[in-house]
Amino acid sequence: MLFSFFILHSNFSAHGSEVLWLTNIPPGERQKEITASGMHKLSSIKAGRGKVRIVQWVTRGNNVLSSAYILNSELPEAEIYCYTPEGDLQECNVDSTKHFKELSFNNPLEGYYNLYLIRKEVRNDTLFILTAKAELLNHSCRNGHKDVDEKIQSGDHHEKIPMDIVRKRTRLENLHFFVASGDRISFRVSKSSKPLMDASVTFVTHQGWEKTVKTNRKGEAEIQVIQDYFSPWQDINNRNIYNYLIIADYTSQEKGSFMGESYKHIHYTTSLSDGYYPSKVMYSSLSWALGLFLLCSLIAGGGVVYYRNKRSRVYREIRITNN
């Protein structure tokens, strides 16, 4: 599973707030040391015999292909939380020896881990709360496929998270599920563990196409993943992972103080990013084309054989006798 970080368009910068993201893509200096783990190819490092630690990086930027990793010296005051598939809070390390800010945690359990980085800052009369989130699925087929419904639960509404966003699970979802271009996916936004209505939810594709919708009374918003890439047919790879991002944005009138500074408003910005596969139609159409080609070849070949058999004459010996 690949993850990215972005700053959204002017709708967000107009609020004076940046957007932080968690990414599964290692920086260049770490690529040789990182291996892929599980069905979603999460970045990992060895943590003893048969064990790994999942690694994510913090970055900001305005493009999936050119986002900037955050240095380890940045965001020293950020809060970091990691929840297990069972909803328990567990340890998450920040490696201070690396150049870029690198978060890692153990994942012994099957299911979705929820990783959060939260930054709070008062500017003028507004408290800005930025939350970067990743939903990270741990699954290995050798562990079997029992209790799937329990393992794929979203595990939202954690009390330490000011505003959360989760992808709603689909009816037929399993431990091998991956969003594909063309799918309709729903997200649920909650504030203080309650559904949040009228929050702005912006969906951005790998190539930068975006759409903004508002959440309904249940705090839900639905988006369709459009196809915004058109590879030559010989380059189509149904296992190639693209990235989408979701930004939930909301401002409320709430008075208080943080770190000795008072505020009258709170601006919440929560990000969630995940990967998606190319449209199934793109590569299934190749299968149909191949099947049609083979069928036509079979019919043509059969026609040639039939025609040749009809044209051939059986040799008959003619004997002429003199009486």
C-alpha distance from residue 164 to each of 110, 161, 191 (Å): 22, 6, 6
Q: Is residue 313 part of a domain?
A: no
As a whole number, mean pLDDT of residues 170-182 equals 83
CA atoms within a 13 Å half-sphere pointing along the CA-CB vector of 224: 5
Cα–Cα distance, 118 to 131 (Å, whole number): 4
pLDDT attached to residue 122: 96
C-alpha distance from residue 36 to each of 33, 144, 185 (Å): 10, 20, 26
Whether residue 153 is predicted with pLDDT greater than 60 in this model: the reply is yes
Q: Is residue 263 part of a domain?
A: yes
Q: Is residue 143 part of a domain?
A: yes
Task: Tell me which residue range forms the domain holding 194.
Answer: 10-279
Q: Is residue 293 part of a domain?
A: no
pLDDT attached to residue 208: 82
Per DSSP, the three-state class of 102 is: strand
Q: Which has the higher per-residue pLDDT, 222 or 183?
A: 222
Q: Is residue 294 part of a domain?
A: no
pLDDT attached to residue 15: 38
Whether residue 145 is predicted with pLDDT greater than 80 in this model: the reply is yes
The pTM is what? 0.80
pLDDT attached to residue 296: 74
pLDDT attached to residue 88: 92
Q: Is residue 226 part of a domain?
A: yes
Residue that has been written with the tokens 């059986």 in this structure: 314
Cα–Cα distance, 188 to 168 (Å, whole number): 7
As a whole number, mean pLDDT of residues 265-293 equals 73
State the CB neighbour count (10 A cutoff) for residue 155. Answer: 19
As a whole number, mean pLDDT of residues 213-235 equals 81
Q: Is residue 184 part of a domain?
A: yes
As a whole number, mean pLDDT of residues 172-183 equals 84
Least confident range from 120-124, 177-181, 280-284: namely 280-284
pLDDT tens, position by position, 16-37:
458 898 989 899 889 899 999 8
Rounded (5°) CA angle 181-31-34: 90
- Count up the domains in the chain and report the number: 1
As a whole number, mean pLDDT of residues 100-114 equals 94
Q: Which has the higher per-residue pLDDT, 20 or 61?
A: 20
pLDDT attached to residue 123: 93
Q: Is residue 246 part of a domain?
A: yes
